[in-house]
């Protein structure tokens, strides 16, 4: 059973949420999916993921960051002004808002507040940057995650400052999507602590599953290797999925699963089941 919800971001704006497995909420653990850059809660495999984990007994939350560019049309980027004003720190805060809403019984009465995070691409970074701050987050998995938020050359930053924005092309929708100076300022102001992925992974002290496709052209494998090098090897696993890319063979609109994505789902399920059952973190 699925339900749609809207909560207010503590920074202003609406966070659109879909929950799966509402019949599981009272006694079962929760999994939260964090989408990546140019991602959204109804992209491709996300609803399938929600159904998969809810059928395995979990309560699942998928959500849109308030400034991810998706508005009333849940499949199209119609709020490009908000997208331009988004920041990494905003996303960390809004993930905390979603966790807080769950803990405060906004989606139903809970008896066991343990949470696992799944973050894809940039969402993996947001999961890692947030997890160590939240006691009830017990397990984390990153899928095709970046290892650094600073992905811009000095030349690009110079142009960014001069123009007041940086443009990226959405190859799927053919839209020019701008990033305002607020994102660059956030990165530069907070790179040593709040947005320092290396520091946060070293501090994590929670089971971490890193999954990456060997043919990922959007985020190269060396970034997964970096994450693993910073992690506590006693409670971290790194799975390299051969012959698959950034979204593990899945596309939008969703055309069904495949053997690679099935392996990603099963690996994550097994990891979460094991560490929720033995969680002393």
> Rounded to two decimals, what is the model's pTM?
0.97
Number of domains in the chain: 1
The verdict on residue 171 lying in a domain is no
User: What pLDDT score was predicted for residue 248?
Assistant: 98
Predicted confidence (pLDDT) per residue in 99-136, tens digit: 999 999 999 999 877 999 999 999 999 999 999 899 99
**For range 250-254, the mean pLDDT:** 97
Choose among 277, 265, 198: nearest CA to 56: 265
Question: How far apart (Å, rounded) are the C-alpha atoms in residues 49 and 88?
Answer: 24
Q: Where are the beta strands (DSSP E) in 214-260?
A: 236-241
Sign of the torsion formed by the C-alpha atoms of 45, 48, 54 and 59:
positive
Cα 141 to chain centroid, rounded: 9
**For range 261-270, the mean pLDDT:** 98
Residue 281 predicted with pLDDT over 70: no
Predicted confidence (pLDDT) per residue in 208-217, tens digit: 999 999 999 9
User: What pLDDT score was predicted for residue 178?
Assistant: 98
Would you tell me how many other CB atoms lie within 10 Å of the CB of residue 193?
10
The verdict on residue 209 lying in a domain is yes
Question: Residue 72 is part of a domain; what is its CATH number?
Answer: 3.40.50.1820
Would you tell me how many other CB atoms lie within 10 Å of the CB of residue 215?
13
Establish whether the linkage from the previous residue to 190 is cis, with ω within 30° of 0: no
**For range 264-272, the mean pLDDT:** 98
Cα 40 to chain centroid, rounded: 10
Question: How far apart (Å, rounded) are the C-alpha atoms in residues 277 and 116?
Answer: 12
Q: Are strands 14-20 and 59-64 parallel, antiparallel or unpaired?
A: antiparallel
Binning the chain into helix, strand and coil, the percentages to the nearest 5 are: 35, 25, 40
Range of the domain at 45: 2-149+192-277
The verdict on residue 97 lying in a domain is yes
Question: How far apart (Å, rounded) are the C-alpha atoms in residues 55 and 248?
Answer: 21
* Token pair listed for 166: 């940086």
Residue 280 predicted with pLDDT over 70: no
CB proximity list for 220: less than 8 A, separation 6 or greater: none
User: What pLDDT score was predicted for residue 28?
Assistant: 81
The verdict on residue 106 lying in a domain is yes
In the block, residue with structure tokens 């995650």: 145
Torsional class of 199: left (φ above 0), alpha (ψ -120 to 50), beta (otherwise) = alpha
The verdict on residue 162 lying in a domain is no
The verdict on residue 137 lying in a domain is yes
The verdict on residue 185 lying in a domain is no
The verdict on residue 177 lying in a domain is no
User: What pLDDT score was predicted for residue 72?
Assistant: 95
């Amino acid at each position: 059973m699925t339900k749609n919800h809207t909560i207010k971001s503590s920074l202003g704006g609406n966070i659109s949420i879909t929950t799966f497995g509402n019949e599981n909420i009272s006694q079962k653990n929760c999994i939260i999916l964090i989408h990546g850059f140019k991602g959204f809660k109804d992209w491709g495999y996300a609803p399938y993921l929600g159904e998969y984990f809810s059928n395995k007994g979990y309560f699942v939350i998928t959500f849109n960051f308030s400034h991810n560019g998706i508005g009333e049309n849940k499949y199209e980027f119609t709020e490009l002004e908000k997208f331009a004003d988004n920041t990494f720190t905003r996303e960390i805060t809004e993930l905390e808002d979603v966790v807080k809403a769950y803990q405060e019984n906004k989606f139903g009465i809970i008896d066991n507040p343990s949470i696992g995070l799944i973050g894809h691409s940039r969402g993996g970074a947001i999961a890692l940057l947030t997890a160590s701050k939240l006691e009830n987050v017990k397990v984390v998995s990153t899928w095709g995650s970046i290892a650094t938020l600073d992905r811009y050359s000095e030349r690009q930053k110079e142009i960014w400052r001069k123009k007041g924005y940086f443009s990226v092309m959405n190859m799927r929708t053919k839209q020019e999507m701008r990033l305002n100076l607020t994102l660059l300022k956030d990165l530069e102001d907070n790179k040593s602590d709040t947005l320092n992925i290396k520091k946060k992974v070293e501090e994590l002290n929670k089971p971490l599953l890193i999954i990456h496709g060997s043919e990922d052209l959007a985020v190269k494998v060396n970034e997964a290797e970096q994450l693993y090098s910073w992690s506590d090897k006693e409670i971290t696993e790194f799975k390299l999925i051969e012959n698959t890319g950034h979204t593990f063979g899945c596309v939008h609109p969703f055309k069904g699963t495949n053997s690679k994505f099935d392996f990603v789902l099963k690996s994550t399920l097994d990891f979460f089941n094991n560490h929720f059952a033995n969680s002393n973190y």
